[in-house]
């Protein structure tokens, strides 16, 4: 059970991290590997859009070449069989800035 983990173990495995930070860390890892040779490095930021208390959305923003595009990650009401991979969303946003 996860509740039996020590505080140190919880920190190491990400158990106590904020969900937004977890998505941001994974995004940073993907971007670092995919765009390390890009002379104008893209900036990706995970954020929360709070339209009201009942309608919060997790957003991924990409800023590159002076343009910023955003995509709603969650909730994804168009998801029928499975969610897109985070890598696919990153690539799509990056390509929109070109």
- pLDDT, one tens digit per residue, over 7-39 is 788 777 777 778 999 999 999 999 999 999 989
DSSP 30-88: HHHHHSTT-SS--EEEEEEEEEETTEEEEEEEEEETTEEEEEEEES-TT-SS-PPPHHH
Q: Which residue has the tokens 């590997």?
A: 33
Residue 53 has pLDDT above 80, yes or no: no
Greater confidence (96 vs 81) lies with 96
The better pLDDT of the pair 80, 50 is held by 50
What's the whole-number mean pLDDT along residues 37-60? 91
DSSP 8-state secondary structure symbol assigned to residue 17: S
- Is residue 58 over pLDDT 70? yes
Q: pTM of the full predicted structure? A: 0.81
- The answer to whether the CB of 42 falls within 8 A of the CB of 94 is yes
pLDDT digits (tens, 9 = 90+) for 62-81: 999 999 999 999 887 776 66
Would you state the pLDDT for residue 86? 94
pLDDT at 68: 96
């Amino acid at each position: 059970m996860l509740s039996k983990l020590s505080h140190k173990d919880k920190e190491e495995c990400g158990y106590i991290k904020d969900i937004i930070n977890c998505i941001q860390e994974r995004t940073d890892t993907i971007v670092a590997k995919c765009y390390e040779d890009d002379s104008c490095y893209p900036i990706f930021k995970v954020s929360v859009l709070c339209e009201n208390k009942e309608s919060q959305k997790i957003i991924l923003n990409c800023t590159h070449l002076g343009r910023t595009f955003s995509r709603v990650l969650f909730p994804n009401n168009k998801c029928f069989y499975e969610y897109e991979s985070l890598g696919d969303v990153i690539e799509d946003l990056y390509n929109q800035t070109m």
